[in-house]
A and B are shown apart, each in its own frame.
Chain A
């Protein structure tokens, strides 16, 4: 079997058996990237030499009976993770030439486990966007239809995995940035519990919402990677010292007795009919496997998007302040004075969407508006968390669609930020409440993938991964590959 069609778990077994070397595997992936990377615009940086060197080292370790659980397995990092001595742009002109002097915790952990980094994937600028169109390096194309968006902000990671240019990729999710592109590209995307994975070295967008996760082809692959990434990190005060279970070992338990909650509002207006049907069918599969379906209520669901678009820009406006042209990143030529240095460096360095959010965030934190916006949003955020907590008293997971529609055309929503924001209507709640959530392939609508969205209580990654894994043992949606990339 050709290497690129295999999942991460299959490749790991192949390496273990000695069917191929990590260098061979890496070269095979590099050939795929060379062939398709440009047409998809999935990468900002391709790390040919460094990847081969890492693969070589992995092979040597393996020969010596050494090496971590990911030894020799190729992956891709979203360009939001700082990678030592490698360009780290965050999809922005601001960091067009920024070579990070250090590795993010996520990068460090995966590398320590032996992963080989093929490159850095394209993304919405500073992770602000839902279509990958805000990237300074141009939009990523959806492998299922090159005229369509792969979603965002982790669009490059999702496209790379969907097109079999890499078996797995890291991503980050602030309002749906892993799950929405996973849904639109027929991949699996998991956003863990807030605090599960260290944020150190992950360039911040909205610190109280940002969480790192992975985009893979199967739940088993996600379990393998997440087990390495998860865990307490003393360099991130918001990471939590909570035991990390063996996610892979937890995949095999049956779904008998699993209580699945369905939110009625999720299937109301706004949801594409065929997408809803696909999700309902997936729920039938879960039921057939022994799960019970019950309706749950999230009364404040409608406030998720407005709450998010106060909290996230507020934090963003402050997080973006360090990009001032003084110490790193873009600096305007020949500034007249300090103000000119600031305004031109930032004016030139940031794109429109980032500026819009900085403006919004600055406004909601301003004297006289703070109480009405920021403080109010924090209160509503608490209500939303409370809704989830109550719901999880009677169910184990909450299921629904990941997105209201399948992939939309590039350029379709760029003129109307609000319509774009509404794409994250089902995913944002998990970020506001800090809950783990996963999106998995569950159908096709006119040749475009549909995602099933599952949200669990805090630290329920294991149950989310198991639910998807069991579902994938009965279905083939996740194996579907766009024809041009088989």
Chain B
């Protein structure tokens, strides 16, 4: 990137709230049903129907507001955002405008220099989603699926505090982790439960005034968001350096071509004619309610990460990975138990082999084929020298294949490590006797050959000899 320019990014994240029914009707929010089978008369905007607020969304927004240190408004107002579109049944979207449910807040990310950086949250407001227009497979006409119409969304608006695509992604990931921790959203990006618009502008380094921004739409994966922002930043810099001007507009990201293109300029944009929705009462939230919700607050990701470092002695990076989701963190804690001695070893297994196996089979942690208790059992057998780390990998694979616990497999396959020194000594003596040439070379100063001797012993014992013991015994014998 050109160092003469500073990038300024603000994100608007649309999080679908994980309620069973819609924000203003009793219809189901389940994803993937046949078109228009989950839209009731309220969702269809029939004459005479009225919205009734699903109180669960208020709880979820309150929880979010508290988690980011924002103010949960004692009084917030639903407003109508008026515009015509076929997938917007009423001709207006019920949203919040002047008085949102959450005001202010913050989130900390790690910037490029490894320092903690505060990203301000301007507001978070509740609104209903629109339906979907379908153009594919329909000859010269368009279809409308209103299943999604009325699905509750929490729109989280950040301050323009982000200075690079990487920071934007990092902030987005933290919000993504948070909403799943709070269990207010499933965060599924493929299904559109978590999507964002990015307001991107550039300005000469050192300039106070913000440059003209473009709003990027349709960003539905972390990778695309980074690419789209980077493309847009380059486009704007190039444009300005060539003497052009950035115009205020909405641009759509095309992931196939990796480019953004103009959708509409703000001049020709709708005047949404927001006004308070007379069908809904103001949302009044009491201090008691806020405290009751606060009492249900789970341990938040940043706090949990620090605790993993402090209590389990984990490396910070490992703690970050393990606290990336509540389920993963729970799995780790369940495996690590109260003890801290095996914690780092368990962390390594969870992050390494277990995650590898999960990814390979396309499973999430909740569906792991090896339970936390069984993984702890495996690590315990390494710690107590029953098996070596190398054998443990085979045992893990067998466990993953459903052959039983570590102990079962060690027993049935006879993998128990040989620690009986007389048994090891017999093999060591045999290897020394069988390889006089190498013995001479070793004694002549070629220390590296120790690996060869260890290898021979391990081979003869099918890897079951305790490697430490073998090493020590070989060195003693060869140097005598």
Known: A238-B279, A365-B273. A100 touches B50 (CB 8 A): no
How does the 8 Å CB contact mask read for B79-121 relative to A, with 1 for contact and 0 for none?
Answer: 0101010100111100000000000000000000000000000
How does the 8 Å CB contact mask read for A400-413 relative to B, with 1 for contact and 0 for none?
Answer: 00000000000000
Chain A contacts for B45, CB-based, 8 A: 322, 327
Question: What's the Cα separation between A50 and B454 when bound, in Å?
Answer: 97
How does the 8 Å CB contact mask read for A273-300 relative to B, with 1 for contact and 0 for none?
Answer: 0000000000000000000000000000
Chain A contacts for B50, CB-based, 8 A: 199-200, 235-237
300-327 of chain A: CB within 8 A of chain B: 314-315, 317-318, 320-324, 326-327
Q: Is the CB of B47 within 8 A of A200?
A: no
358-373 of chain A: CB within 8 A of chain B: 362, 365-367, 370
Distance (Å) between the CB of B27 and the closest chain A CB? 14
Q: Is the CB of A102 within 8 A of B41?
A: yes
427-451 of chain B: CB within 8 A of chain A: none
B69 at the interface (CB under 8 A from A): no
How does the 8 Å CB contact mask read for A88-120 relative to B, with 1 for contact and 0 for none?
Answer: 101000010010111010000000000000000
Q: Is the CB of A321 within 8 A of B92?
A: yes
Question: What's the Cα separation between A98 and B48 when bound, in Å?
Answer: 12
Chain B interface main SS type: loop
Q: Is the CB of A88 within 8 A of B47?
A: yes
A207 at the interface (CB under 8 A from B): yes
Chain A contacts for B92, CB-based, 8 A: 318, 321
How does the 8 Å CB contact mask read for B35-50 relative to A, with 1 for contact and 0 for none?
Answer: 0000001001111111
How does the 8 Å CB contact mask read for A322-359 relative to B, with 1 for contact and 0 for none?
Answer: 11101111000000001000100000000000000000
Q: Is the CB of B48 within 8 A of A200?
A: yes
Known: A207-B279, A366-B271. A100 touches B47 (CB 8 A): yes
267-295 of chain B: CB within 8 A of chain A: 271, 273-275, 278-281
Q: Is the CB of A90 within 8 A of B47?
A: yes
Question: What's the Cα separation between A320 and B273 when bound, in Å?
Answer: 14
Chain A interface main SS type: loop
Question: What's the Cα separation between A237 and B50 when bound, in Å?
Answer: 8
Q: Is the CB of A328 within 8 A of B281?
A: no
A204 at the interface (CB under 8 A from B): yes
Chain A contacts for B52, CB-based, 8 A: 234-237
Question: What's the Cα separation between A200 and B52 when bound, in Å?
Answer: 11
B66 at the interface (CB under 8 A from A): no
Chain B contacts for A234, CB-based, 8 A: 52
Chain A contacts for B90, CB-based, 8 A: 321-322
Residue on A with the closest CB to B39? A327
B373 at the interface (CB under 8 A from A): no
Chain B contacts for A201, CB-based, 8 A: 48-49
Q: Is the CB of B89 within 8 A of A237?
A: no
How does the 8 Å CB contact mask read for B349-361 relative to A, with 1 for contact and 0 for none?
Answer: 0000000000000
Chain B contacts for A81, CB-based, 8 A: 48
Known: A82-B47, A104-B48, A326-B144. A237 touches B271 (CB 8 A): no
> A207, A314, A318 — which one has the most chain B CB atoms within 10 A of its CB?
A318
Known: A203-B48, A321-B91. A367 touches B281 (CB 8 A): no
Q: Is the CB of B47 within 8 A of A98?
A: yes
Residue on B with the closest CB to A98? B47
Chain B contacts for A101, CB-based, 8 A: 41, 46
Known: A237-B52, A237-B280, A362-B273. A318 touches B91 (CB 8 A): yes
Q: Is the CB of A374 within 8 A of B275?
A: yes
Question: What's the Cα separation between A315 and B53 when bound, in Å?
Answer: 20
Chain B contacts for A365, CB-based, 8 A: 82, 273-275
Chain A contacts for B86, CB-based, 8 A: 324, 326, 338
Known: A318-B80, A318-B82. A237 touches B49 (CB 8 A): no
> B84, B86, B271, B275 — which one has the most chain A CB atoms within 10 A of its CB?
B275
How does the 8 Å CB contact mask read for B131-151 relative to A, with 1 for contact and 0 for none?
Answer: 000000000000010000000
Q: Is the CB of B279 within 8 A of A237?
A: yes
A27 at the interface (CB under 8 A from B): no
Question: What's the Cα separation between A193 and B273 when bound, in Å?
Answer: 29
Residue on B with the closest CB to A208? B278
Known: A102-B41, A318-B80, A326-B144. A200 touches B49 (CB 8 A): yes
Q: Is the CB of A322 within 8 A of B48?
A: no
Chain B contacts for A90, CB-based, 8 A: 47
Chain B contacts for A202, CB-based, 8 A: 48
Known: A321-B92, A322-B45. A237 touches B82 (CB 8 A): no
Known: A95-B47, A366-B271. A322 touches B82 (CB 8 A): no
Partner of A322, one of B91, B273, B279, B280: B91
Chain B contacts for A82, CB-based, 8 A: 47-48
B377 at the interface (CB under 8 A from A): no
How does the 8 Å CB contact mask read for B15-50 relative to A, with 1 for contact and 0 for none?
Answer: 000000000000000000000000001001111111
Q: Is the CB of B271 within 8 A of A321?
A: no
Question: What's the Cα separation between A328 and B89 when bound, in Å?
Answer: 10
Question: What's the Cα separation between A207 and B53 when bound, in Å?
Answer: 16
Known: A102-B41, A342-B84. A204 touches B48 (CB 8 A): yes
Question: What's the Cα separation between A202 and B273 when bound, in Å?
Answer: 24
Q: Besides A317-B82, A322-B47, 4 other CB < 8 A contacts?
A: A199-B50, A201-B48, A236-B50, A323-B47
Question: What are 8 A-B contacts with C-beta separation under 8 Å?
Answer: A100-B47, A204-B279, A235-B50, A237-B279, A317-B273, A318-B92, A322-B89, A326-B144
Residues of A within 8 A of B (CB): 81-82, 88, 90, 95, 98, 100-102, 104, 199-204, 206-208, 234-238, 314-315, 317-318, 320-324, 326-329, 338, 342, 362, 365-367, 370, 374
The 6 closest A-B pairs by CB, nearest first: A321-B91, A208-B278, A365-B273, A207-B278, A201-B48, A322-B45
